[in-house]
Amino acid sequence: MRERYGVTVIGVKSPGEDFVYATPETRISANDLLICSGHAELLERFASRP
């Protein structure tokens, strides 16, 4: 994510699961909530992707 979009995923919250800190091995699903860090413009661009 960091190399491709310029944002860092800090953690992931899957529906019905506990929050977990993200690692390079973390896999995400379409319904996951991502906690991200980065420059505001890059975060907004990343968040608007389908």
Whole-number pLDDT of residue 18? 96
Whole-number pLDDT of residue 42? 97
Cβ burial 14-31 (10 Å sphere, 16+ → b, else e): eeeeeeeebeeeeeeeee
Whole-number pLDDT of residue 1? 86
**25 vs 11: CA distance, rounded Å:** 12
Domain ranges of the chain: 2-47
pTM here?
0.81
CB 23, CB 11: distance < 8 Å:
no
Whole-number pLDDT of residue 34? 96
pLDDT digits (tens, 9 = 90+) for 9-47: 999 999 999 999 999 999 999 999 999 999 999 999 999
Task: Say whether pLDDT at 50 is over 90.
Answer: no
**36 vs 42: CA distance, rounded Å:** 11
For the record, the structure tokens of 45 come out as: 């661009």
